[in-house]
Structure 1
Amino acid sequence: MAGYKIRDLEILSGIKAHTIRMWEKRYGLLNPKRTDTQIRTYSDEELLLLLNVSLLYKNGYKISHIAQMNSEQLIETSKSIQENGLENSATEQLIVSVLQLDEQLFQQIFNNLIEKNSLSVLFSDLIIPFLQRIGVMWVVGTITPAQEHFISNLIRQKIMAAIDALPIPASSQKKIILYLPEHEWHEISLLVYHYHLRHKGFNSIYLGQAVPFDALLKTIRQLEPVAVVSSWLAPIDQEQILMHFSDLKHEMNEIKIAAGGYQIDQLKSRLAKPIMHIQSLAELEKII
């Protein structure tokens, strides 16, 4: 995919747009084309170059030193960092695997990381932040639906295998319902919540994607959970989200309601007090 705007590069690389402009002017790192209205556009090659520059910069290399490297030196130095400090380069490399639809690269990164981290730490410290960036990229159109589905399915496979390896809690334990609302199909964050709660011994019950509101209420009445948890990514009208929680709160009395995801991040100041905003796995555990 070509024709990235500078905002896309900022999201993908983690480098602020004004910094990218400064590097262009001072060091000539990138050479974007301009539209008739003078809007910068960048190619796939320039994006990959910036990802390598970002990797080196975040690992302590001075931009003046990076700017003096030729393409071969830049790639070789990046590879060295990836081999010696994968945790510091994983996000950039995962983004490359998304852009290039490279399953082998994804598997290599994930397998190397799991040798050094527990699944809970890996999901909390890497996968969740990475998915937040992927979510923003998808919402603003930086990546295509096919690219988002590609990486989501690979990560989903890993999480489902991890969940399947955990023991099923006793039905007598207090229940927590996890669901995605109608028109919401992006389940990775919710699956991570499910894995974390099961790993910690909670009796979490996963209802899955696009659960009709009436069916959700019927299940709540049947199971009588202590909490319900959801995740929101799809770009829908904010008033619909607020109405969903208003109706849910009206029906649920004392049951805790917690939600996370990009749309909830944007709405947190408008959510009613009983609706708890999930910003991390540790916070989810504390809420429950």
Structure 2
Amino acid sequence: MAGYKIRDLEILTGIKAHTIRMWEKRYGLLTPQRTTTHIRTYSDDELLLLLNISLLNKKGIKISRIAEMSTRQIFDTSRSIHDSRDVDTAIEEFIVSVLQLDEHLFNKTFRELNQKAPLSDIFSEHIIPFLNRIGIMWMVGTINPAQEHFISNLIRQKIIAAIDQLPIPDPNAEKIIIYLPEHEWHEISLLVYHYHLRSKGINSIYLGQALPYDALIKTVETLKPKGIASSWLTAIEPQKILDYFIQLERDLGHLKIIAGGYQIDQLGSALSKNIRRIHTLSDLEQLIR
């Protein structure tokens, strides 16, 4: 069982910590355990309950009314609102679908978003923030490998299906290589990069996961791209990342070198100014153009 701090719940549910404390004190909605140093900790069940409370509250049901419901009534009422979406509860529903391994809920939520917005917007406004929010689950150990594989494969299927619907760019157009370095297997962000660039008519060449450094250099020599872009999520020693980019600058300094992901954000100003850092899909497109 995971042990969430109140800050973790704030990130995962979008409900401010002071609001959670007020709901506890006034309505007794949650009953956290306390450490020997009196820090609140919450269980998986309490996270799931709070996510469903958040859904109902966004729907306009007053917290005083929710507090009168049993846990079963909260879950049943929350489930019923999936059929009548007029507020944005997508990220909460995605999180619930992970916790409950509910493919039906994930697909239904994704389909409803796709009826209202282009896929690039869904990825940037919902999928990427969703992945950022469940990152905290990894840190406290609440998501097991089966759940991670479940949601990763569902999202991966959606992106690949969307890419397959796009035209293949002119092979003579300028190319951008996108890849994951040797230690990196988390490809969802990279697939989103690929989809976004292809949707804008940019000739992105997708080389996938864990690409050996020598293979990258040889491919650059063959394809002569305009630039290369990578995504870094897996935690490794910061110096190893810095050394990697120092070597890249030596070997490929004539190209645009673009990088994104949590580990790149953590390096901050330690990374060379010649490495273009991206935070959004718009950043990526602008740097390439």
Secondary structure class of the residue paired with 1:269: helix
Q: Does the 8 Å CA contact 1:132/1:262 hold for their aligned counterparts?
A: no
Number of the residue aligned with 2:94: 94
Matched to 1:219, the amino acid is: T
Distance, in Å, in 1 between the alignment partners of 2:44 and 2:178 is 38
Q: C-alpha separation between the residues in 1 aligned to 2:235 and 2:62?
A: 39
Q: Does structure 2 retain, via aligned residues, the 8 Å contact 1:232–1:262?
A: yes
Structure 1 residues 116 and 92: CA distance shift in structure 2, 3 A? same
Partner of 2:131: 131
Match in the other structure for 2:122:
122
CA pair 180-85 structure 1, distance change in 2 beyond 3 A:
same
Distance 1:51 1:60, change over 3 A: same
Cα separation, partners in 2 of 1:18 and 1:269, compared to 1, 3 Å: farther
RMSD: 2.4
TM-score normalised by the chain length of structure 1: 0.89
* 1:213 equivalenced with 2:213 (yes/no): yes
Match for residue 199 of structure 1? 199
- Give, as a single letter, the amino acid of the residue that structure 1 aligns with 2:159: I
Q: CA deviation at 1:25?
A: 2.7
Q: When the two structures are aligned, how many residues end up with a matched partner?
A: 288
Instruction: Give the alignment of 1:1-288 within 5 angstroms.
Output: 1-35=1-35, 38-58=38-58, 63-64=63-64, 66-71=66-71, 74-75=74-75, 78-79=78-79, 81-85=81-85, 88-288=88-288
How many Å apart are 1:84 and its aligned residue? Answer: 3.3
- CA 269–14 in structure 1, closer or farther in 2 if over 3 Å, else same: farther
What is the letter of the counterpart of residue 114 of structure 1? Answer: N
Classify 1:26/1:277 alpha carbon distance in 2 versus 1 (closer, same or farther; 3 Å). farther
Q: After TM superposition, give the deviation of residue 95 of structure 1 in Å.
A: 0.3
Q: For residues 93-149 of structure 1, give each alpha carbon's deviation from its aligned partner in whole angstroms, at most 9, with x where no partner exists.
A: 100111111111111111222122221221121112112223343355342232112
Change (3 A) 1:282 1:220: same
Deviation at 1:254, TM superposition (A): 2.7
The Cα of 1:191 is off from its aligned counterpart by 0.1
User: TM-score by structure 2 length?
Assistant: 0.89
| Deviates further, 39-48 or 185-194 | 39-48
Task: Give the Cα separation in 1 of the matches to 2:29 and 2:189.
Answer: 36
Residue 270 of structure 2: SS of its match in structure 1? coil
State the SS of the aligned residue for 1:272: coil
Give the partner amino acid of 2:179. Answer: Y
Stretches of structure 1 lacking an aligned partner (at least 5 in a row): none
Identify if the C-alpha distance between structure 1 residues 40 and 89 changes in structure 2 by more than 3 Å, giving closer, same or farther: same
Structure 1, 54-63 or 213-222: larger mean CA deviation: 54-63
CA distance in 1, matches of 2:139, 2:189: 15
Determine what percentage of the aligned residue pairs are the same residue: 66
- Give unmatched runs, 5+ long, in structure 2: none
Between 1:130-139 and 1:236-245, the stretch displaced more is 130-139
The answer (yes or no) to whether the contact 2:8–2:136 under 8 Å persists in 1 is no
